[in-house]
Structure 1
Amino acid sequence: MTAFSKLTRTGMRGLKPGQTISERGIEYTRLTNGDGRWSVNVMVNRQRHHQVVGLESEGYTRTQAEALVASLKADKRAAAHGVAGSKQRAVLSLARAADDYLQYLAKHDGRDLETKEMRFREHLKPHLGQIQVSRLSDDDWLAYVAKRKGEGAAPSTINRERSALLHMLNTMRRRKMLAAVPLLARQAEPEGKLVYLTPAESQRLLKAAANDQSDLAHPFIMITLYTGLRHEAALSLRASDVDAERRVLWIRHDKAGRREQPMPQILSDYLVDYAAGMDGEDYLFPSKRAKSGRAYQMNTVFARCVERAGITKHCTPHTMRHTAATNAAHAGLDAATIQMMGGWKTRAMAERYTHAASMHDAMDALQGRLTSSRFTRKLHRPSKKSA
């Protein structure tokens, strides 16, 4: 492993906002909000490459910066020796590479396969499909971004498409089908407001769901409220996935992969009654109209329940995930536990809930401190004589 003398944890922690340290083409900058930003600034093939890798809060480390520098140098070597990058003799277009990649994931139990197929089918292949995959460049990606923005795609949507494309390219590199992978600049996303339901709003929503015309409304909100499961993962549950004795749900399909999802006793008891009489492979959210036999989405039903509950916030099924995590933070669970509970990839994604809960508790403590002080509002009123 390469030894660094400047880019050490001690050196990075000692930086003040706005300061930067660099070593071997890798830069680390302490931002004004306390976050850290990784970037590279190297000269390769007589051309200066100054690119942002990512933020520390998003899970980026020096490892990703080193990989980018290695990738740029690999591109230089490949160009110098006339190597296109792919070890296959036939020219492989991005469309053909995507088909091969998706087949490979299907054979090796890849995660989030349906979503990846959709992103390649509807967006990536129509715009980039004809490009030779070994010659895909950052300029090609920027042209793609411009087209998608012209179609009204949000930065967050484009970043998810970028993640799917990068996963394909990195998988090809691991399979020795590509020599290097381009950076593909990530789009800046505006920091969204963390929307979650209060306990009172949650109870109103459960009541509205119990009175809804859809039999799936109440169990869907119960499961997502008490576990924070993602929309797709909840709808993929089968009766045999409920382990009431251990109080866990077996998650077969999720963005975070296969895992066990803990649940409280109230949900465990509820699901035992709900799944009574079902066969083990029966879906908890069946649909006779769907080819797969299960419901594909609950957006319409959920929106109707939100409206009938008198909730004016902009809520989607994903709001239940925020609600579960926020309630867990207010209950005193630490970020590591919340991360495991919800299946988040990085600790930073779970820490925003504990941070919000800590600030809420801090404000309550501040209020209690001030209101219990001798200096009350009554003592500060002007006297009649001075008036």
Structure 2
Amino acid sequence: MPRQFSKLNRTKMRSMRAGEQITEHGITYTRLADGDGVFAVNVMVDRRRIHRSLGRESDGVTRTTAEEFISNLRADARAGRLNLPKGRKVSLTLKAAVPQYISKLEQEGGKEISRKQRRLELALIPFFGEKPLEQIQTFDIERYKKHRLSTPILSRKVLKAGEALPLNSAATVNRELATLSHLLNKALEWGWISERPAKINRLQEGNGRIQFLSAEQADALIEAAKADQNIQIHPFVLIGLRTGMRKSEILSIQRQYIDIDGRTIYLPNAKAGPRTQPITPSLADYLAAYVETLPPGTPWLFPSPAALAGHTVDIWKAFKRCVQSAGLDPKQIVIHTLRHTAITHLVQAGVDLPTVKRISGHKTMIMVERYAHQSGAHIAAAMDKLDKRLKMNSA
């Protein structure tokens, strides 16, 4: 049944003066100084506030135009609800879904929850926040990529005159897209949506060389760490270089999970899932002695009573100091370089890639294969062996 308008009718609209407004049934008509009029709508549809300026009367916009616009909005909303899973009455926006998503991940024992939450809050919600999950389309994903690649990195760095903040990298955007993809997969699994709405294509990342330390540079860094004022940086660097473990994995090591005799460390919260990390004999001997120096009763290998987690979570300042003391460039050598160094030297020592994968904790062989191409020396040596063998057999 058509709505009845008692205020927004032709007679009252014609008698309006410049600057006056009439609002009724979500439609607003404003008289302009030049005598023209503008129509706008402001309505709630499926718990979403929709505010649009529709245009001037002189351009052919009428009250009927506004009524039809609202009617179409509600028709689209009804059509959207037809595609919702059984039991849902209203579309779930990304912003509304995030708290429920994080809560359910915590209940399920999900991985990297804090990182996912940070990406959602800082990047994905500002862009997709009011968008219903089932309406996120591939076109929206492509717009998001373009937007993020042109957005400066959030940084506390003090800029020099004329210096601009660096932009987000393809790797950063891909991690954000991975979080969105995971949320959509879970939304489908939990019955929030009836089908996955968008195809998410990742950006192509650069295939630059992986930075790693030579054996001499690694030794210099270990010596610098041994002499540093921070007593935790030496075991941290040593573990990183002798295992290839990630920063968060090293700092969250629990004493109860160190098996000196078995030469392993159990990692219940590793990035790719729980795993048992092998360690070298020399590192096992070192850890046996180091554990004896820890405060009695502490469960952590790197305790920090002031930290909310109970253990150290940031060791960058001490690491940077050691890098500089070792005569290395802190712009090139970062904490993750320890992991790159350990894995690269395993590959160059001739260890087969499946074993390297087992030691490094990578999810896929593809990631490990990247290390096989970082230095041609070990490959050239292998080809020399092949050449000698074939020459010997043909002699």
> So what's the TM-score if we normalise by structure 1?
0.70
Report the counterpart of residue 60 of structure 1 in structure 2: none
Shift of 1:367: 8.2
Report the counterpart of residue 318 of structure 1 in structure 2: 336
Contact 1:85 1:178 in 2 (8 A): yes
Report the counterpart of residue 133 of structure 2 in structure 1: 133
Mapped to 2, the partners of 1:350 and 1:297 lie a distance apart of 26
Higher radius of gyration, 1 or 2 = 2
1:336 paired with 2:354, answer yes
Shift of 1:355: 4.1
User: Could you tell which deviates more after superposition, 311-320 or 205-214?
Assistant: 311-320
Report the counterpart of residue 200 of structure 1 in structure 2: 216
Contact 1:84 1:135 in 2 (8 A): no
Q: Structure 1 counterpart of 2:258, which letter?
A: V
Report the counterpart of residue 154 of structure 1 in structure 2: 169
The answer for unaligned runs of 5 or more in structure 2 is: 1-78, 152-166, 388-395
Mapped to 2, the partners of 1:213 and 1:99 lie a distance apart of 42
Superimposed CA distance per residue, residues 173-199 of structure 1 (whole angstroms, 9 cap, x where no aligned partner): 222322222112211211121111111
Among residues 291, 294, 297, which one is paired with 2:311 in the alignment?
294
1:255 paired with 2:274, answer no
Contact 1:85 1:134 in 2 (8 A): no
Q: Would you say how many aligned residue pairs link Structure 1 and Structure 2? A: 292
Shift of 1:369: 11
Among residues 377, 391, 395, which one is paired with 1:360 in the alignment?
377
Mapped to 2, the partners of 1:302 and 1:86 lie a distance apart of 54
Superimposed CA distance per residue, residues 256-295 of structure 1 (whole angstroms, 9 cap, x where no aligned partner): 1111111011111111111125556522222243222222
Mapped to 2, the partners of 1:331 and 1:238 lie a distance apart of 30
Shift of 1:81: 9.7
Q: Relative contact order, CA 8 A, sep 6+: which one is greater?
A: 1
Shift of 1:351: 1.8
SS of structure 2 residue aligned to 1:260: strand
Q: Structure 1 counterpart of 2:319, which letter?
A: F
Mapped to 2, the partners of 1:300 and 1:224 lie a distance apart of 16
Report the counterpart of residue 349 of structure 1 in structure 2: 367
Q: Structure 1 counterpart of 2:377, which letter?
A: H
Report the counterpart of residue 290 of structure 2 in structure 1: 274
Mapped to 2, the partners of 1:185 and 1:362 lie a distance apart of 34
Amino-acid identity (%): 31
Superimposed CA distance per residue, residues 117-151 of structure 1 (whole angstroms, 9 cap, x where no aligned partner): 21112221222121111111122222222222222
Mapped to 2, the partners of 1:98 and 1:147 lie a distance apart of 21
Flag the 1:238–1:80 CA change in 2: closer, same or farther, 3 A. closer
Contact 2:92 2:192 in 1 (8 A): no
Report the counterpart of residue 225 of structure 2 in structure 1: 209
Superimposed CA distance per residue, residues 336-380 of structure 1 (whole angstroms, 9 cap, x where no aligned partner): 1111111111111112223446x322434678999xxxxxxxxxx
Flag the 1:280–1:332 CA change in 2: closer, same or farther, 3 A. farther
Report the counterpart of residue 31 of structure 1 in structure 2: none
User: Could you tell which deviates more after superposition, 167-176 or 207-216?
Assistant: 167-176
Contact 2:85 2:191 in 1 (8 A): no
Report the counterpart of residue 225 of structure 1 in structure 2: 241
> So what's the TM-score if we normalise by structure 2?
0.68
Report the counterpart of residue 97 of structure 1 in structure 2: 97
